Amino acid sequence: MAETILITGGAGFVGRHVAKSLLEDGHRVRAFDSLIEQVHPARARPVELDPEVELVVGDIRDGDALGRALTGVDAVIHLAAEVGVGQSMYAVDRYTSVNDLGTAVLFQKLIDKPARRVVVASSMSVYGEGLYRTADGVLMEDVVRGPRNPDGSWDPLDGEGRAMTPVPTPETKRPALKSVYAINKFVQERLTLTLTAQYGMEGAALRLWNIYGPGQALSNPYTGVLAIFASRIMHGQAPMVFEDGRQRRDFVHVSDVVSAFRLALERPEAVGETFNIGSGEDRSVEDVARLQAASMGRGDIEPNITKQARAGDIRHNIPDLTKARTLLGYEPKQDFTRGLEELAAWVARQESKDRVAEARRELELRGLVA
């Protein structure tokens, strides 16, 4: 059955892709977005946003505008958020206001105008460090590490000073909130699951890993790491990689993320649950930087391994997708090499400003890089 679906943050990277998929299935889509300059430099409707999407420009904290946008809505995909671990550590009031107060305002309005289901975008950052196994085979889920070990290494150590091995992290792992952004995202998902259950709605939360694909904001130095790397490479600059570059991440294509949102919106098994959403494959950040440079025809550009730590960053975190596969029927399909080639082809047609050095100075001025 066709529904009217509101996507908060719907003019953004993920929102545009989700909207396109929903339209193709005959749904009516309304996007609510503030078009902030950091993401939308022109402060205008993005050309990539399907013309059939009804765009309502407004701040997620504006209850009156949000109330009007919710009129006649059957379901909500809540993507509106300030995004970026590093920036969240100094723009504390802005991040907390938009992300947490904004979500509270959304639900204040949903109390009077309830939707069938609300799906919120959470983040892998809520876990802090992922799950680890010691050399003795013991699983450790409350791993805390300093910025660097006494011997100069970066991996978390067990009680006997031995490096531990990262293993896939399930949704049952206790949160370890290491950044303002992580705190915000955990609050967003708990508000969603608590208030939907209380007021007769259905709720679900997706903990997203590192999303990439065509349409990312290349001039935003706090966006996804592959977009940041792409912007550097297209300007002939080395991708900046913190620590030693061997930290491992899962990179998931936006088309797989769209699939996850569709499943979370439709499957009854999603109600009241949180799900890890990734690709199921992990790689070192250094290797990814090299692969991306090669995909853009700049294999001569070597990553800049800074040997510095950034406040709020974690070492390793890779997802266990068992729950999403079992309950949602989620199955990532995009091959990483083909995904990088697709991204490179799109980047070649774009213009951007490289603002990475500017962002790093902001962090250094506040003592957030060491």
- Name the token pair of 313: 């960053």
Among 169, 208, 206, 210, which residue's Cα sits nearest to residue 292? 210
Is the CB of residue 40 less than 8 Å from the CB of residue 220? Answer: no
pLDDT of residue 208: 98
Q: For the chain, how many residues are written? A: 370
Confidence (pLDDT) at 31: 98
Active site includes 181?
A: yes
Q: Tell me how far apart the alpha carbons of residues 38 and 253 are, in angstroms, rounded to a whole number.
A: 22
For the chain, residues with pLDDT lower than 50 are none
At position 44, the amino acid (one-letter code) is A
> What CA–CA distance (Å, rounded) separates 224 from 343?
13
What class does CATH assign to 4-365?
alpha beta
Element holding 13 (H helix, E strand): helix 13-24
Give me the pLDDT at residue 354, please: 63
CA distances from 216 to 95, 114, 254, 285, 351 (A): 20, 31, 10, 18, 12
Distance of alpha carbon 83 from alpha carbon 185, whole angstroms: 10
What angle is formed at CA 103 by the lines to CA 102 and CA 108, rounded to 5 degrees?
A: 95
Which amino acid, 320?
Answer: D
Selected catalytic residue, list 181, 212, 222, 330: 181
CB–CB of 199/165 below 8 Å?
no
Report the pLDDT value the prediction gives residue 357, as an integer from 0 to 100.
Answer: 65
**The predicted structure's pLDDT at residue 227:** 80
At position 229, the amino acid (one-letter code) is: F
Nearest to 228 by CA among 293, 287, 156: 293
Q: What is the pLDDT of residue 221?
A: 63
295: Cβ contacts below 8 Å, ≥ 6 apart? 337, 340, 341, 343, 344
Check if the beta carbon of residue 297 is closer than 8 Å to that of residue 350. Answer: no
pLDDT at res. 255? 97
Instruction: Tell me what pLDDT residue 170 has.
Output: 97
Instruction: Decide the pairing of beta strands 202-208 and 240-241.
Output: unpaired
pTM: 0.93
